[in-house]
Structure 1
């Protein structure tokens, strides 16, 4: 297992990275309508009176401390979503008990990562012969101060096992418990590129919408194409 002591430290630079989200789920603008936690709590209570589905849209707010929410930034709702809508099945660096904001160094890397996971998920759905999936591209700016760096760990290490996430999840839990805000690591689906696993959204400066992309399923993802610039 990769221990924290083996990891490098990032220098606190501004980083531009990319992400894809399913376009059928609209962003929740409530986080973007306020400047601080007090304003959010007031607005949330007001909207909850008239919108009974608000808690489902916002997610489980108790999973993230208010102090970690970067209120006032462009795209705050995009930054928060992975931490209030957690996949109970987990991910590479999470066992499903906490959220992770995954980002890639290029949009091409993000597409490669998402394509792999879409193939893996939909191949388990019986009777799905054809489908079209549309994704919203996001451009994220964040500061990597105090984050750890696993870029020197070779792809042959169990950390990067393509299917067994047990080693990576133990590292992710250790990073989370130690209070590190994130990790840079090598992309498994696009070798030669980097990805980031942000364990808190507080390092995010902005997340803005980029292009839309579609993936065509025909027994597997057979094509990926850009369908709009914004």
Structure 2
């Protein structure tokens, strides 16, 4: 198993990467309407009195300390969502107890990653013969300070197993415990490219909407196309 001490340190600097989110999930306005934690608390309490859906919209806000939320940035809600709407089944670098913001170095790699996971998910849904899914592209600018680098590890390393995430999840847990803000790693779905796993939204400087993309399902994802610009 890869140890945190085996990973290289990345130089500080501003970075850009990409993400796709399903367009049926709108931004959480509450995070974008406030400039700091105090404003958030006040507005949250007020809205909680009148909005019975607030808990579903915001998610499990207790999973993220207020100091980790980058209030005031463009697209704050996009940065926060993976940390308050956590998949209990886990992901590559999380066992389901904490959220991870996954980003890809290029839009093409973001599409390849999402296409794989959509194929995997919908293949398990009985009776789905045809469907179309629309995704919102997001361009994320973030600070790479104090992050670790796993791209020096070969693709044969267990953290890159295409199906078994157990080794990668143990590494992700160790990085989270050590307070590491994020990890650069090789893309498993797009050969030669890399991705990012941010373990905190704090490094995010902005997250803005880019193009929309459509994926068509007909037993598997048969096509991926851009349907609109930002």
TM-score of the two chains, using structure 1 as the length reference: 0.99
In structure 2, stretches of 5+ residues that fail to align are none
Distance 2:12 2:101 in 1: 18
2:11 aligned partner = 11
Correspondence for 1:2 = 2
1:136, CA displacement in angstroms?
0.3
Displacement of 1:106 after TM fit? 0.4
Aligned to 2:132: 132
Say which SS state the counterpart of residue 202 (structure 2) adopts.
helix
Runs ≥4 residues deviating over 3 A: none
Match of 2:89 in 1: 89
Aligned position for 2:144: 144
Unaligned runs of at least 5 residues, structure 1: none
SS in 2 for 1:136: strand
Post-superposition shift, 1:6? 1.2
Shift of residue 29 of structure 1? 1.0
Hey, what does 1:164 align to over in structure 2? 164
Return the TM-score normalized by structure 2. 0.99
Cα distance per residue 1:128-161 (max 9 Å; x no partner): 1100000000000000101100010011111100
- Equivalent residue for 2:219? 219
Shift of 1:204: 0.2
What is the CA distance between 1:49 and its match in structure 2? 1.4
How far did residue 48 of structure 1 move? 1.3
**Inter-partner Cα distance in structure 1 for 2:154 and 2:43:** 47
Q: How many residue pairs are counted as aligned between the two chains?
A: 230
Instruction: Give the drift of 1:75.
Output: 0.2
Q: What secondary structure sits across from 2:114 in the alignment?
A: helix
Q: Distance in 1 between matches of 2:63 and 2:132?
A: 32
Aligned alpha-carbon RMSD (Å) = 0.5
